[in-house]
A and B are shown apart, each in its own frame.
Chain A
């Protein structure tokens, strides 16, 4: 069974600074998908970024980028120019294929400080 580990329960960053959230996973699959979700205080789950394992290029979405290290089974999220609105819980998630459920990590609570 796949597992996802987020080793940082809480983090904080100054506004406009850069922060990196860690995620490692365990799988025997060669092709799979990885995601970062954001959950603000409103509780809605919002997709931040996704990565297909067969793509070597790291995914980027505006201020959000990932460092995908397939051999190390690592998938960290970098947030540049942090904004107050980035304050949220961030969940790393793994999916084996398009018809299997997401497996989530326990989350990292990020606080952006003015």
Chain B
């Protein structure tokens, strides 16, 4: 199993550009989520999904869109990048209702918005 994979590892954007952060897992997990990590702020939830076709907002959803068309993939879209979105982004997955278990995190994507 590859676990949770994220691409790209690092990205530089200009203000106003759009992009998609990719997240995929091969563990057949129902639950997936996106976090951003900023210095001194811990991890804050952006969006999450409890299964294919179901998504919900987290603590800081503004400026981000998600979709969950398959169990495996959970992309995060930045519609119009802003410098405030400079951060490290983590995707995570777990079995969800099937068991408490561990949240498996991806390696992160570092995003710099100029």
Interface residues of A (CB under 8 A from B): 9, 33, 35, 42-47, 50, 52, 91, 95, 98-99, 101-107
Contact = CB atoms under 8 A, between A and B. Distances in A.
A98 B96 contact: yes
Contacts of B45: 101-103
Contacts of B92: 45, 102
B100 interface: yes
Given A43-B108, A44-B107, A45-B105, A91 B43 contact: yes
B4 to A, nearest CB: 10
B95 to A, nearest CB: 8
Contacts, number: 51
Interface of B: 31, 33, 35, 40-45, 48, 50, 58, 88, 90, 92, 96-97, 99-100, 102-103, 105, 107-108
29 contacts: A9-B40, A33-B100, A42-B107, A43-B88, A43-B108, A44-B107, A44-B108, A45-B43, A45-B90, A45-B103, A46-B105, A47-B102, A47-B103, A50-B100, A52-B100, A91-B43, A95-B100, A98-B96, A98-B99, A98-B100, A99-B50, A99-B96, A101-B48, A102-B43, A102-B45, A102-B92, A103-B45, A104-B42, A105-B42
